[in-house]
Structure 1
């Protein structure tokens, strides 16, 4: 595996600070946030300096019951080529269901069962065949556990690597999150997984509330996560280590200090212990997962996701309190991302608090089905149909905003009403 060194997740809000970081070896960029042919100038300058750029996907949902979307795979591959990336990365997670059509807007855990493993392995092989560079997959943080799991995290990841030859992106913050939320020992996972397949490592901050660890990427990296990084470093010299920070960005000096602390842990690790070598790929990998396995997985994932985003009953065997915590977290994230996608909405609606109250009321029982931009438009329509906001001037501003962004959508009842509101006729 190509050595990457120590890096940071590139985000537009900290682009200038990232460029000024001393000794920066590489950056990771959210794949869905860059467009081939229109790279941000900051990324172009970094590449010209020789800084490697790795695209990190969040929307494939390789752990879902459906086969990977060819268009999403093609888009991820285009970004890898555009960035000259040595690999691309994604997650061991599901993010949507097709029956019913629901979007989580977040990475959700797959059940560690034989069915889910078979489906995941087939989906990974499809992705590998479609991508122009190697693929690595990340372990995710989770608030809930699936009932009836048949494998440990270490067993699941090991069999995934053995069956597909896929590389691993180990997130040590997620290992800590799962220690708090699911009682899983990070050391046991690190002892079990094939570290010779390690592509690189993520490090991030979070916060504990009422006995639940939230992997926020908006807090400083705590010592306990650096401890997990140190335990990993005792076992292997990682090809790359990267700091993730997605929100509530600190001053530049604090950001640089966090990167320095991570580098110090990596440099202080000393010679790693002997890494047990495993076969990277079975000579005769198992065949297709089979439609029965996909159907069983689809039913389970649909039941859980519907409980999380549509308010249906919690499936039997799940911790109802934890599902409730996850549901509230998904709704809060959905509100935050829509506000970033459509930053005018909080101002139109009277400020962040008024926006958040209105959006959470709209989202209750109205699951997202087509991404955040469509969600923002649907939210605006929902308000306009109900003659909201109450202030006529705000309604006119919201109508103008909606009309400008609705594009060529057919002019149904709401569209005709919205046009009439601003004095235009169909």
Structure 2
């Protein structure tokens, strides 16, 4: 049976970095600069981790795992493949993860992989369907599950609610946590004319466990979540507001393209940590 979700029982991790194999050695050499690391679980499955990853990382800093291929919104699959979940569970145990996160999206239909995180129809029927899949995943992996909001560039017809309400209904029906990606939120609000502060305000604080930060760029009047740029000031401001109002347990900096030097990443981590610590002081004051 899926254990009841309780944010208060989850550990306070601090500010970490999304692990990238391209700079694996640099990350390991500077491991003390990060409160924790987040690993895309499919990276472990692909066999491309450094040979000494578990020895050099696990046990030295906490590690969380992030999934990209469960395709929770695939309506032609009522359950996530048990074989996939067994592999995830084994990796989570090996990494000693306090929680596991996945995306509220679909990536495939009728076994055709789109190679992208695609949005769902925001309907109550989708809420009910996806919530059951999340509950199945949480029961299978045996640790708390977080669901991440994605960046989307078009709306699926037939929406019955806005994104914030849809997201809230899913995590409450699934009894899971939220991984709030601030850059995705910013992209969606900018591209679709939404109010980002109102979006954050509408989210239940007792579900917001982790925050993702990344950079993007505007291309032909569309803001794209590229993960290839530094975090911009508007996203930083929204991050600070989310920290003050939602009290997340962890923050992750993501950088997948145009990866700068490890010193530049650490400098950005320190700027993020300063905002996070100030918000925590404001909450406890």
Q: Same fold (TM over 0.5)?
A: yes
Task: Give the distance between the partners of 2:213 and 2:13, measured in 1 at CA.
Answer: 15
Q: Is the 8 A contact 2:33 2:266 kept in 1?
A: no
Question: C-alpha offsets along residues 63-86 of structure 1, whole Å, 9 cap, x if unaligned?
Answer: 221121111111211110111111
Shift in alpha-carbon separation, 1:2–1:48, aligned structure 2, 3 A: closer
Q: Over the residues paired in the alignment, what is the CA RMSD in angstroms?
A: 1.8
Pick one of 52, 55, 58 that aligns with 1:44: 55
**Pairwise mapping of residues 232-271 of structure 1 onto structure 2 (< 5 A)?**
232-269=242-279, 270-271=281-282
Q: CA deviation at 1:45?
A: 0.8
User: Which consecutive unaligned segments of at least 5 residues does structure 2 have?
Assistant: 1-9
Hey, what's the Cα distance between the residues in 2 that align with 1:85 and 1:195? Answer: 22
Partner SS for 2:154: coil
Aligned to 1:17: 26
Equivalent residues in 2 for 1:49-88, closer than 5 Å: 49=60, 51-65=61-75, 66-67=77-78, 68-88=80-100
Structure-1 residue corresponding to 2:165? 155
1:36 offset after TM fit, Å?
9.9
The structural deviation recorded for 1:184 is: 2.3
1:216 to 214, 223, 226: 226
Query: In structure 1, the residue corresponding to 2:33 is in which secondary structure?
Result: coil
Greater helix fraction, Structure 1 or Structure 2: 1
Question: What residue is the counterpart of 2:40 in the other structure?
Answer: 30
Partner of 2:127: 117
Question: Does the CA-based 8 Å contact 2:72-2:106 persist in structure 1?
Answer: yes
Once the two structures are TM-superposed, the CA of residue 38 in structure 1 deviates from its matched residue by 8.8
- CA distance in 2 between partners of 1:216 and 1:39 (Å): 23
Q: What are the equivalent positions in structure 2 for 1:185-334 lying under 5 Å apart?
A: 185-269=195-279, 270-272=281-283
What's the TM-score, normalizing by structure 2? 0.89
CA offsets 1:105-149 (integer angstroms, 9 cap, x no match): 111111111121111111111112211211111000111112231
Give the alignment partner of residue 90 of structure 1, picking from 82, 86, 102.
Answer: 102
Q: Which runs of 4+ in 1 moved over 3 A?
A: 35-39
Distance across 2 between alignment mates of 1:203 and 1:218 = 11
Mapped to 2, the partners of 1:168 and 1:48 lie a distance apart of 25
Q: Aligned residue pairs: how many? A: 270
Largest Rg, 1 or 2: 1
Following the alignment from structure 1 to structure 2, what is the Cα–Cα distance between the partners of residues 209 and 43?
39
Where does structure 1 lack aligned partners over 5 or more consecutive residues? 274-426
Flag the structure with higher strand content: 2
